[in-house]
DNA sequence: GTTTAGATTGAGACTAAATCTCAAGTAGGA
DNA sequence: TCCTACTTGAGATTTAGTCTCAATCTAAAC
């Protein structure tokens, strides 16, 4: 498995961009978090560690990480975007509990296959997808 | 098929709320639009028709419409929420072209069934779900 | 018809997420 | 070294959405 940093640097190369100190800090921080994260969370964590990076750079770099394919955006029913790193994980989707907020990951090969065939039928070239199922988790349903 | 307005009024009744002039205007506007809409779009359309309703009321009423089950939120990859009315439509999900922005609806019973069984396995009580597949549509792929 | 409690609204202040601007700094190829 | 293009930070700006609160409306109870 290629290290994230190599992939990112290679991606940046293709865009004539370079792996700066700030971009590396953000990359490391993103990959140190398991699960779902918010842009501002990265900003605040770095700030706490005295590794100051501006908000603008955090947002800009997250955009690059998404474009590089290392990270993806996820919509979890809240009014802002979450991110999660995809490199080194098998693809998965989410069950979101609307009471306690828990997010349960799942993956299902058969669903993926059916989605692929929906795309094929319509001449649509899939790049990514997200599935969210909202409801009550085991502990929250009455 | 029950009229939306009856369903909405019945829903409001259960919450001890009433179908006011403003709520009716918003309901009508929402159901006059086919496809996906934004909160601000409703606000501006009503304004243009001199049927002024405040932004706050538009947002509040859209929330009620979502809770009543007549309308749902959809995430289409942009940084704000879209809405679509569900009453009178069979459930569907979306293929979103990231180049031209076109949104293609699809529905697939087999996918729905598999999702239901994913939930069952995990003791999760599904209320709703959304599937978005991002990529290039027939016309935009090279 | 009055009373009254609670629902409803609008205007604009406010919040939060995300983007933009621009001057100053940096990196790397020629 | 020079030069060009990339990169950054600070803070202004934009945009979506929420909140506040006084004024108004509604409808059930009297």
Determine whether the interchain pair A134/B128 forms a contact, defined as Cβ–Cβ distance below 8 Å: yes
For B67-105, what is the HEC assignment? Answer: HHCCEEEECCCCCCCEEEECCCCCCCEEEEECCCCCEEE
For the segment A87-109, the average pLDDT, to the nearest whole number, is 89
Q: Kindly list the residues from chain B whose CB atom is less than 8 angstroms away from the CB atom of residue A77.
A: 73
Angle at A107 between CA A115 and CA A136, to 5 degrees: 105
For the segment B28-46, the average pLDDT, to the nearest whole number, is 92
Between CA A87 and CA A24 the distance in angstroms is 16
Residue B142 has pLDDT above 80, yes or no: no
- Strand D atom within 7 Å of B63 CB: yes
- Strand C atom within 7 Å of B112 CB: no
Question: Quick one: pLDDT band at residue B1, thresholds 50, 70, 90?
Answer: low
Residue A2 has pLDDT above 80, yes or no: no
Q: Which nucleotide is nearest to B23 (CA to C1')?
A: C8
Class of domain A4-85: mainly alpha
Nearest to residue A51, comparing CAs of A32, A18, A30, A25? A25
Residue B23 has pLDDT above 80, yes or no: yes
Residue B43 has pLDDT above 80, yes or no: yes
Determine whether the interchain pair B111/A108 forms a contact, defined as Cβ–Cβ distance below 8 Å: no
Residue A3 has pLDDT above 60, yes or no: yes
CATH topology of domain B93-135: Dna Ligase; domain 1 (3.30.1490)
- Strand C atom within 7 Å of B57 CB: yes
For the segment B101-130, the average pLDDT, to the nearest whole number, is 93
Return mean pLDDT, chain B: 90
Min CA distance, A63 vs chain B (Å)?
13
Q: How does pLDDT run across A26-41, given as a tens digit for each residue?
A: 999 999 998 899 999 9
Question: Quick one: pLDDT band at residue B2, thresholds 50, 70, 90?
Answer: low
Residue in B closest to A104 by C-alpha: B122
Between CA B56 and CA B34 the distance in angstroms is 23
Calculate the angstrom distance between C1' of C20 and CA of A56. 9
Q: How does pLDDT run across B49-63, given as a tens digit for each residue?
A: 888 899 999 999 999
- Which residues of chain A form CATH 1.10.10.10? 4-85
What token pair was written down for B55?
């932004």
For the segment A51-76, the average pLDDT, to the nearest whole number, is 92
- Please say whether the beta carbons of B23 and B61 come within 8 A: yes
- Which residues of chain B form CATH 3.30.1490.190? 93-135
Q: How does pLDDT run across B71-81, given as a tens digit for each residue?
A: 999 988 887 88
Between CA B66 and CA A104 the distance in angstroms is 24
């Amino acid at each position: 498995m290629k290290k994230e940093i190599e992939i990112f640097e290679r991606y940046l190369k293709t865009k004539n961009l370079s792996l700066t100190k700030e971009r590396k800090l953000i990359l490391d921080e993103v990959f140190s978090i398991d699960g779902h994260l918010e842009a501002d969370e990265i900003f605040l964590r770095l700030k706490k560690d005295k590794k100051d990076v501006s908000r603008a750079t955090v947002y800009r770099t997250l955009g690059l990480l998404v474009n590089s394919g290392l990270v993806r955006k996820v919509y979890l029913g809240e009014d802002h975007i979450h991110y999660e790193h995809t490199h080194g994980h098998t693809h998965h989707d989410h069950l979101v509990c609307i009471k306690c907020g828990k997010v349960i990951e799942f993956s299902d090969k058969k669903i993926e296959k059916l989605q692929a065939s929906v795309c094929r039928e319509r001449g649509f070239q899939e790049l990514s997808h997200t599935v969210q199922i909202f409801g009550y988790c085991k502990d929250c349903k009455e």
